[in-house]
Amino acid sequence: MTEGTGDGERLYTVAQANQLLPALLQVLNSLVEQLGGATDADALARLHAAQGHNGGGAAAAAMLQAGERVAREMSFLEQHGILLRDVDAGLVDFPAQREGLPVFLCWRRGEPAVEFWHSRDEGFVSRQPL
């Protein structure tokens, strides 16, 4: 990773982004496992079910542990300057430069490597092959 625009932003080369994919895939899979399909209503229901059991017991402990794992995974993304766009799709952007212009290298879980990019003011639908 290289320093970016003077504001401390990390910029990735394609090779650097690809090198992070195995660890990133583990993070994304963990996030899907912890958050997958959960809605605010689901979380509220679990909290209400836990209320009458001396502080929640196992249900509350499991929720706290899941929250800690989510925080740890999100910290990985933040520390590496990777932008999570869609948890379920496993869609992320890596800040980069292309021909001197700021862009995002775009990757989605299931793709073999980082093979696409898009400008900073566009998104996934505007991505182009490298």
Q: Quick: pLDDT tens for 53-105.
A: 555 566 666 666 666 777 777 888 999 999 999 888 899 999 999 999 999 99
Between CA 113 and CA 109 the distance in angstroms is 9
Per-residue pLDDT at 46 = 54
For residue 43, give Cα distances in angstroms to 37, 60, 74, 80, 88.
11, 11, 19, 29, 18
d(CA 4, CA 102): 9
- pLDDT for the residue numbered 98: 94
> Strand pairing of 91-98 and 101-108?
antiparallel
- Check residues 104 and 2 and name the one with the higher pLDDT: 104
For residue 38, which of 79, 81, 70 has the smallest C-alpha distance?
70
CB atoms within 10 A of CB 76: 16
